[in-house]
């Protein structure tokens, strides 16, 4: 048995974003950026360490929306196109900035984008399969999250709460052919009693922020460095505060080092417009491209940032990895002497931190794992599930209601910017439960509509919309998404209950384009009027249902009856 254990837990989540009605869509880029900057570099690093024969394990929470998007045929095809554009841009940039202070960075991007393209092609475009391959070789533990990352403490109906867990477990089984060993509670949102629903689905553990365990119904003997067993038998692990600060903080942590890449200066805004125009969306609006030539430098204005040196940044990541391992090893030695049993340090982070927000993050992870395995025999990299298998003493406790994020007690997800959404969310939850209990023998078309109702409720519950509103980023998009899912649910419910769900296409459906190209503005206005009339009509045609199924296509395996239990 080792002196102590380190569990690196990478929470991998993005909201489900898919817009087949548009050729380009800005929010879809969230997925493509994460694939290029985070998922592929991390997977490639872990595969490299595995090839070197190193024994380690990293835990990934892959949320159902991420799994569904990564395996969606339309999104995979669009990502391949996106990646091809990046490769072309990198080739042009290598020529354009040759002989300038930016030439080393340009060469790095060319190599990176070509590498990402090769990786994507080699794994057949299936990154979920690549994660599963690491699990099968014993180098990763993969856990789930709630179905659409719904903030569980704010779901009022118990059947709706259970649905978030059960749909997630079923989706995990479809992608990984197993029961999820653990779950990432969205936003680490916990309340006493939630563990009972987790136990119903065979889930062994979850992760909380430190105060969730420190302020539980009894003070834990081993503090935050050992799990606790909840009344249902499901175990909770606490997030280690110090290792979190070192990696999360851009002020006191590693990511703010002057030699690291500056996130907020991007070629999409720096390059001459004619040069960058072919790589923008069809609207031609400048946006972040993902090619950034400057380093953090220090507390200076963006236009004073200095040229980025990839070699120096990578060396700094190695130095920080060494420091990180030494600090964990020192702390674990102290804890082991005090406890009389091996402690565990649980270090959870958003996966998107590594590579997107902190560009050198994947290199840091690789250096941490390599150093921990080769230089710190007293420090073993495990998953929380591995730790439970050791038979180490686990104290019984009921953790307190808590979250991670600002202030730690739900504030981010309930405040003046987003409180208006919850009455509507609770109402559609209640109505979905009623529908599931009413329709015991639906027709095939009714079943499709009921399943789509379930999808719309789940998508409306996503914690991402409240988070975006609170952080005042893409607020109009979050407003629109929440309202759209509620509206689609209500229209389908009304059509079902009134007998106005009709087969076939709507004979009055607005035309999508003027074939002759004449009076396009008039056509657009007519289309808007027809669409507004359709929204007021109690009738929903199969054609509209099919369109919603194509866009909100998450969970093809869903069964609306999950809400009837």
Q: Which residues, 6+ apart, have CB-to-CB distance to 469 below 8 Å? A: 417, 418, 421, 475, 478, 479
Contact 365, 354 (CB under 8 A): yes
Please identify which residue in the block is written with the tokens 């988070």.
467
Question: From residue 210, how far is each of 227, 228, 314 by CA, in Å?
Answer: 11, 12, 31
Domain ranges of the chain: 4-71+126-257+321-396, 415-564
Instruction: Tell me which DSSP letter residue 440 carries.
Output: S
User: What are the pLDDT digits (tens) for 381-428?
Assistant: 999 999 999 988 899 999 999 999 888 999 999 999 999 999 999 999
Comparing CA positions, the residue from 559, 462, 554 lying closest to residue 70 is 554
What kind of fold does domain 415-564 have according to CATH? Answer: immunoglobulin/albumin-binding domain-like (1.20.1430)
Decide if pLDDT at 248 tops 70.
Answer: yes
Q: Give me the sign of the Cα torsion angle 522, 480, 457, 203.
A: positive
Q: In the chain, count of helices (H) and strands (E)?
A: 21, 12
Q: Which residues pair with 255 in a beta bridge?
A: none
pLDDT cut 70: percent of the chain above it: 95
User: What are the pLDDT digits (tens) for 222-238?
Assistant: 999 999 999 999 999 99
Instruction: Tell me which DSSP letter residue 557 carries.
Output: T
Per-residue pLDDT at 506 = 84
Instruction: Assign domain 4-71+126-257+321-396 to its CATH superfamily.
Output: Glycoside hydrolase 38, N terminal domain (3.20.110.10)
| Reduced 3-state DSSP string for 347-359 | EEEEHHHECCCEC
pTM of the model: 0.94
User: What are the pLDDT digits (tens) for 135-156?
Assistant: 999 999 999 999 999 999 999 9
Radius of gyration of the chain (CA): 25
Range scoring the smallest mean pLDDT among 17-26, 421-430, 509-518, 529-538: 509-518
User: What are the pLDDT digits (tens) for 153-204?
Assistant: 999 999 999 999 999 999 999 999 999 999 999 999 999 999 999 999 999 9
Question: From residue 168, how far is each of 17, 141, 184, 203, 513 by CA, in Å?
Answer: 17, 16, 11, 11, 39
Q: Which residues, 6+ apart, have CB-to-CB distance to 113 below 8 Å? A: 36, 83, 86, 87, 89, 90
Residue 552: count other Cβ atoms within 10 Å of its Cβ: 18
Q: Which residues pair with 380 in a beta bridge?
A: 5
Comparing CA positions, the residue from 387, 363, 381, 382 lying closest to residue 313 is 363
Per-residue pLDDT at 510 = 61
How far apart CA 262 and CA 357 sit, in angstroms, is 9
How far apart CA 210 and CA 225 sit, in angstroms, is 10
How far apart CA 554 and CA 459 sit, in angstroms, is 9
User: What are the pLDDT digits (tens) for 79-118?
Assistant: 999 999 999 999 999 999 999 999 999 999 999 999 999 9
DSSP string, 146-172: -TT-B-GGG---HHHHHHHHHHHHHHH
Q: Which residues, 6+ apart, have CB-to-CB distance to 123 below 8 Å? A: 129, 130
How far apart CA 295 and CA 169 sit, in angstroms, is 42
User: What are the pLDDT digits (tens) for 488-497?
Assistant: 999 999 999 9
- Is residue 543 exposed (0-12), middle (13-18) or buried (19+ Cβ within 10 Å)? middle
User: What are the pLDDT digits (tens) for 447-472?
Assistant: 999 999 999 999 999 999 999 999 99
How far apart CA 277 and CA 275 sit, in angstroms, is 6
Per-residue pLDDT at 249 = 82
Per-residue pLDDT at 2 = 72
Decide if pLDDT at 520 tops 50.
Answer: no
How far apart CA 30 and CA 18 sit, in angstroms, is 11
Mean pLDDT of 18-33: 96
Range scoring the smallest mean pLDDT among 46-55, 239-248, 486-495: 239-248
Mean pLDDT over the full length of the chain: 94
Q: Give me the sign of the Cα torsion angle 28, 34, 37, 43.
A: negative
Tell me the two tokens of residue 543. Answer: 């054609």
Decide if pLDDT at 513 tops 50.
Answer: no
Please identify which residue in the block is written with the tokens 């990511």.
255
Decide if pLDDT at 534 tops 90.
Answer: no
| Reduced 3-state DSSP string for 377-400 | CCEEECCHHHHHHCCCCCEECCCC
Per-residue pLDDT at 393 = 80
Comparing CA positions, the residue from 147, 128, 153 lying closest to residue 201 is 147
Decide if pLDDT at 432 tops 70.
Answer: yes
Measured at the alpha carbon of residue 92, what is the angle toward residues 91 and 93, in degrees to the nearest 5? 90
Tell me the two tokens of residue 208. Answer: 């909380």
DSSP string, 295-315: B--SSS-GGGPPBP-HHHHHH
3-class DSSP assignment, residue 418: coil
Kindly indicate the confidence band of residue 366, based on its pLDDT and cuts at 50, 70 and 90: very high
User: What are the pLDDT digits (tens) for 316-362?
Assistant: 999 999 999 999 999 999 999 999 889 999 999 999 999 999 999 99
How far apart CA 31 and CA 34 sit, in angstroms, is 5
Kindly indicate the confidence band of residue 255, based on its pLDDT and cuts at 50, 70 and 90: very high
Please identify which residue in the block is written with the tokens 């565990």.
344
Taking each helix axis from N to C terminus, what angle separates 542-551 and 444-460, rounded to the nearest 10 degrees?
40
Question: From residue 112, how far is each of 91, 106, 320, 440 by CA, in Å?
Answer: 11, 10, 22, 53
């Amino acid at each position: 048995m080792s002196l102590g254990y380190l569990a690196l837990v990478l929470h991998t989540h993005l909201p489900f974003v898919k817009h087949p009605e548009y050729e380009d869509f800005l929010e879809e880029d969230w997925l493509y950026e994460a694939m290029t900057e985070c998922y592929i570099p991390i997977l490639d690093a872990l595969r490299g360490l595995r090839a070197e024969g190193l024994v380690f394990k990293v835990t990934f929470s892959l949320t159902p929306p991420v799994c569904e998007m990564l395996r969606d045929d339309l999104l995979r095809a669009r990502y391949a196109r996106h990646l091809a554009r990046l490769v072309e841009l990198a080739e042009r940039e290598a020529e354009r900035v040759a002989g300038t202070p930016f030439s080393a960075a340009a060469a790095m991007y060319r190599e990176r984008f070509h590498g990402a393209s090769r990786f994507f092609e080699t794994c057949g475009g299936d990154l979920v399969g690549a994660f599963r391959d690491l699990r099968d070789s014993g180098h990763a533990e993969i856990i789930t999250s709630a179905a659409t990352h719904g903030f569980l403490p704010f779901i009022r109906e118990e059947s709706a709460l259970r649905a978030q867990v059960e749909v997630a477990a079923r989706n995990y089984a479809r992608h990984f052919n197993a029961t999820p060993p653990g779950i990432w509670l969205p936003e680490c949102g916990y309340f006493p009693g939630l563990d009972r629903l987790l136990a119903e689905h065979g889930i062994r553990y979850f992760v909380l922020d430190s105060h969730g365990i420190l302020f539980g119904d009894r003070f834990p003997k081993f503090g935050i460095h050992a799990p606790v067993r909840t009344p249902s038998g499901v175990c909770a692990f606490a997030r280690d505060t110090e290792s979190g600060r070192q990696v999360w903080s851009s002020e006191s942590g590693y990511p703010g080092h002057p030699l690291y890449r500056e996130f907020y200066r991007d070629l999409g805004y720096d390059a001459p417009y004619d040069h960058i125009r072919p790589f923008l969306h069809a609207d031609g609006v400048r946006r972040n491209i993902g090619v950034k030539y400057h380093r953090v430098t220090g507390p200076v204005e963006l236009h004073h940032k200095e040229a980025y040196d990839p070699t120096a940044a990578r060396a700094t990541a190695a130095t920080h990895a060494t420091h990180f391992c030494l600090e964990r090893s020192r702390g674990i030695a102290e804890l082991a002497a005090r406890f009389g049993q091996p402690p565990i340090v649980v270090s959870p982070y958003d996966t998107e931190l590594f590579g997107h927000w902190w560009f050198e993050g994947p290199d840091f992870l690789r250096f941490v794992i390599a150093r921990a395995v080769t230089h710190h025999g007293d420090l073993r990299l495990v998953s929380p599930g591995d730790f439970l298998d050791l038979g180490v003493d686990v104290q019984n406790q009921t953790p307190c209601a808590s979250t991670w994020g600002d202030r730690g007690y739900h504030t981010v997800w309930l405040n003046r910017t987003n409180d208006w959404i919850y009455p509507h969310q609770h109402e559609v939850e209640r109505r979905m439960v009623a529908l599931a209990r009413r329709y015991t023998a639906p027709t095939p078309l009714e079943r499709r509509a009921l399943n789509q109702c379930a999808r719309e409720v789940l998508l409306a519950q996503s914690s991402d919309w409240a988070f975006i509103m609170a952080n005042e980023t893409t607020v109009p998009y979050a407003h629109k998404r929440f309202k759209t899912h509620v509206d689609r649910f209500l229209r389908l419910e009304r059509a079902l209950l009134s007998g106005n769900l009709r087969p076939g296409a709507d004979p009055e459906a607005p035309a999508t384009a003027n074939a002759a190209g004449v009076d396009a503005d008039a056509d657009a206005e007519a289309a808007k009027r027809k669409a507004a009339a359709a929204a007021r009509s109690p009738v929903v045609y199969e054609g509209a249902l099919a369109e919603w199924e194509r866009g909100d296509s998450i969970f093809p395996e869903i069964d609306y009856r999950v809400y009837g239990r």
